[in-house]
Amino acid sequence: TSAKARPSQPSNPETRDHPCYSAEAHHHFARLHLAVAPGCNIQCNYCNRKYDCANESRPGVVSERLTPEQGLRKAVAVANRVPELSVLGIAGPGDALHDWRRTFRTLELIRQELPHLTLCLATNGLSLPDHVDGLIELGVKHVTITINAIDPEVGAAIHPWVAFGGRRHSGRAGAEILIERQLAGLDALVAQGALVKVNSVLVPGINDQHLSAVNAEVRGRGAFLHNVMPLISDPAHGTHFGLTGQRGPTNAELAEVRDRLGEDARLMRHCRQCRADAVGRLGEDRGAEFALDSLPETPE
């Protein structure tokens, strides 16, 4: 991408070694995403489950679906070979909090075996209010929530349904539940001292005029960073948006929306839209080196 790192974030001991939360750290430290979360509880028009969750990732090669134990094996192997590894994240390929037991089990194993790693997680936010206490107990202090809209009309155009309370809620009603839960999760995390990054997928003609309102809302509630990401829409990927001809933004449109949010918008400009199984420094993907079948049977 053409996005250049701008060291605009204040120096903060909590972010110094997290490549996503600090534009400076991203030159020096590496992150590993473990793809242990296959299921999801909402539908995004840009999603294709053959690929990783667009919460934190771009369509790429299908991730390996790892069990928590396989995830640990991979993390140990990576930690041994990538000394600058500082962050372990769970970001898909579905929603990290839908199959929350798998995610929590993985985080627990990592915390026991690799206690020096910073743990982080990305979610669509629907289940977040139920798990904030559990995450904080596990030491997860960096959470990304994808919030594409705070107006249910806009949200419904991006998320056709959400599954909540044992049934599917479609259209505006579903989007209302999603937004309410996302903002409640954000508030609860901020109240417990976590650093929250909000991702918004910019969908031209749908939420481009609305992202200033999203930015003001999440900043007002204490979000640490706001990351406006371009929709990647391609009929070849089979996303609903791709099939309806919805295009992604041009670079100029993306820059225009980001600039409109202004200097104090706490924008993240160095996000690389990593795959859910990314390994290495930002912009670098060494995932292929660590495919499961190339790892030693027992942790090194």
Residues that bind ligand SF4 (CB under 6 A): 20, 31, 40, 42-44, 47, 53-56, 94-95, 124, 271-274, 282
CB 110 within 8 A of CB 117: yes
Q: For the CB of residue 294, give the shortest distance to ligand SF4 in the complex, in Å.
A: 22
Supply the minimum distance, in Å, between the C-beta of residue 296 and ligand SF4.
26
Q: Between 53 and 189, whose beta carbon lies closer to ligand SF4?
A: 53
Q: Which is nearer to ligand SF4, 10 or 293 (CB)?
A: 10
Specify the residue, 132 or 274, whose C-beta has the smaller distance to ligand SF4. 274
Least spacing, CB of residue 298 vs ligand SF4, in Å: 28
State whether residue 238 is helix, strand or coil: coil
CA distances from 190 to 157, 198, 262 (A): 28, 12, 23
Q: 178 phi and psi, to 5 degrees?
A: -60, -50
Q: Are strands 161-164 and 167-170 parallel, antiparallel or unpaired?
A: antiparallel
Cis bond upstream, residue 93 (ω within 30): yes
Tokens describing residue 74: 């991979």
Smallest distance from the beta carbon of 10 to ligand SF4, in angstroms?
18
Q: Which residue is nearest to ligand SF4 (CB)?
A: 47
Strands 195-202 and 142-146: parallel
- How far apart are CB 200 and ligand SF4 at their closest, in Å? 12
Nearest approach in angstroms of CB 94 to ligand SF4 is: 4
H/E stretch holding 270 reads none
Contact 239, 45 (CB under 8 A): yes
Looking at the Cβ atoms of 240 and 299, the one nearer to ligand SF4 is 240
Query: Nearer Cβ to ligand SF4, position 75 or 137?
Result: 75
Q: How far is the CB of 143 from ligand SF4 (least distance, A)?
A: 11
Q: Are the C-beta atoms of residues 81 and 280 closer than 8 Å to each other? A: no
All residues at 6 or more sequence positions from 177 whose CB lies less than 8 Å from its CB, including other chains: 126, 162, 164, 169
In the complex with ligand SF4, which residue's Cβ is closer, 246 or 273?
273
Angle at 254 (CA atoms; ends 249, 255), nearest 5 degrees: 150
CB nearer ligand SF4, residue 124 or residue 182: 124
